[in-house]
A and B are shown apart, each in its own frame.
Chain A
C-alpha cells in the first residue's frame, strides 16, 4: 500500500527514506526523485493548484499501477501544493525493492505519470509582478507514453 500525501508543507526526505526501510531486512535498494523549483527567467515563486479529492485518487491509481508492475516493498509519493519558492522541493517519489532495477524503474515511471496524469497546475510568478500558467509539454507526454499501458 503506497504512502500518498498531498500537502502544503515541505517534506523530510531522510525520515521518508528511513520509514521505507524500517523494520525490514528484504529491501535491497531505495530509489528517489525530488522535483525542485527552479528560478528560470526571474521566477520568484511557483503556485501549485490541485483538485482536492481527485488528486489523491489519481496518485493512488498511479501508485497502484507501479506496485502491480514492479515488486516494491515501499512506495511513497508526496506532492506539495500552494506557494513554493525557488530551491524548495515540490514533489518526492520514493520506491524500495529487493533489487535496484525495480526501484529505479518504478521511480522513473511514477514521476513520468505524475506529470501527465495527476491534476496539478503550476502558475509562475515573476519578480516583475507578472505571472503565467505553465503549459503542458509534449516531451512530458512522450516520457509518460514510453511506459505504454492503460491509465
Chain B
C-alpha cells in the first residue's frame, strides 16, 4: 500500500510517500489513520487532529469508512485551499 502526504501532513510526517503493509484488520481509511498514527511521533503529530485530515483512495476523495486494500494509493492532506 502506497501512502502519500501533502502540505503540512507531509511536513509533519517528514516524508511525501511511504510503502506500508498494515495488518488485515486495517480495512478502511479510519483504520489506516489509527494504525499510521502510532508508527512514530511524527505520524502521531500529523494525525493528532483527525478533523483536519482529508483522504483520497486511488486519487478520489474518500470518507473515513472507505475501504482500503493492499494495492491502493492512499493520500492524506488538509482541507484543500486552491483556486
Q: Which A positions have Cβ atoms within 8 angstroms of B? A: 35, 48-51, 53-54, 57-58, 79, 90-91, 111, 114-123, 133-136, 140, 151
A48 touches B56 (CB 8 A): no
Interface flag for B77 (CB, 8 Å): yes
Contacts of A79 in B (CB 8 A): 82-83
Partner of A114, one of B75, B79, B83: B83
The A interface is mostly helix, strand or loop, or mixed, namely: mixed
B residues less than 8 Å from A121 (CB atoms): 6-7, 77-78, 80-82
Q: Determine the distance from Cα of A35 to Cα of B83 in the docked complex, in whole angstroms.
A: 7
B82–A118 CB distance below 8 A: yes
* B side interface size, CB within 8 A: 16
Show the binding face of B for A, using Cβ within 8 Å.
Answer: 4, 6-8, 56, 59-61, 75, 77-83
CB nearest neighbor in A for B79: A136
- Provide the residues of chain A in CB contact with B61, threshold 8 Å: 58, 117, 151
